[in-house]
Amino acid sequence: MASILKVDELRGIASAGDITVTSEGGAATQSLQQGLAKAWCHTSDDVIDDSLNFSSSTDNGAGDYTLNFTNNMANVTYASTASPCEGGFRFVTIYSVRTSTSGHGVYVGTTAGSAGDQNVMAQTHGDLA
Q: Kindly report, residue by residue over 62-80, the tens digit of the pLDDT.
A: 889 999 999 999 999 999 9
pLDDT at 78: 95
CA distance 114 to 124: 25
Global pTM reads 0.80
Work out the average pLDDT over 109-125.
86
CA distance 39 to 119: 17
pLDDT at 2: 86
pLDDT at 55: 96
When comparing pLDDT for 29 and 80, which is higher? 80
88, pLDDT greater than 70: no
